Amino acid sequence: MKIFCIGRNYVAHALELGNDVPEEPVIFLKPKSALLPLGTQFNYPEFTNELHYECELVLRVSKNGRYVPERHASKYYDAISVGIDFTARDIQQELKTKGLPWEKAKAWDHSAILGSWRPFSDYSAKPSIEFSLQKDGETVQKGDSSLMIYSFNRIVAEISKYFTLQIGDLIFTGTPAGVGEVFPGDVLEGFIENESLFKLEVK
């Protein structure tokens, strides 16, 4: 199982971190060990002093494939959830400044949080899918799939130019504006529309 992540897929988020809006999707990966197993406590990592949440819609790959054309891409995922791409922002800034890879900031153990799955068909007829993140009961991020620079299908097509898609792979589709810091004791809850799909306390 692979975890694909898309960076800078919302204009407002790219700008809030001082990045250019990308001319093609920014793709990076997390290893399987990045996924927090269900029921496991999430501990604030000792190597960072600036842990950020990034709430994102997540797709589950349902079909193996390579070189998937965009017009067929919707056949390659069947479930959707919401998750967090946890980021050690201080480490990422340092790596970006040096032009080094991001893994120490993004791909560490338990840096990927995943909510419960819903069938994609529940949402596929809608023009957009709204999602949000609450911190201690207050909404801190609000996203809407219609604001993505690169659509689900474009992302699937782009990823599959470089990597074989395999059943069970996950795709984190990028975070909207409003990323911010978390501290031990904070409770994060992720929603698609009004439905809570995960709730997590930072220990």
8 A C-beta contact, residue 1 and residue 166:
yes
Shortest distance, position 152 Cβ to Mn ion, whole Å: 15
**Residue nearer to Mn ion on the CB measure, 113 or 165:** 113
Q: Cα–chain-centroid distance for residue 149? A: 14
**Residue nearer to Mn ion on the CB measure, 87 or 153:** 87
* Coil vs helix vs strand at 191: strand
Query: Cβ neighbours of residue 173 under 8 Å, at least 6 residues apart?
Result: 6, 9, 56, 57, 58, 59, 145, 148, 152, 155
Torsion angle, alpha carbons of 81, 102, 53, 57, to 10: -20
**Residue 51 is a binding residue for Mn ion (CB under 5 A):** no
Using the contact rule CB under 5 A, the part of the chain among 77-85, 128-136, 140-148, 157-165 near Mn ion is: 77-85
**Residue 175 is a binding residue for Mn ion (CB under 5 A):** yes
Q: Beta 3-7 vs 170-172: how paired, if at all?
A: parallel
**Residue nearer to Mn ion on the CB measure, 54 or 169:** 54
**Residue 108 is a binding residue for Mn ion (CB under 5 A):** no
Shortest distance, position 62 Cβ to Mn ion, whole Å: 22
Q: Please identify which residue in 54, 158, 169, 189 interacts with Mn ion, judged by CB under 5 A.
A: 54
Q: Which residues bind Mn ion (CB under 5 A)?
A: 54, 85, 175
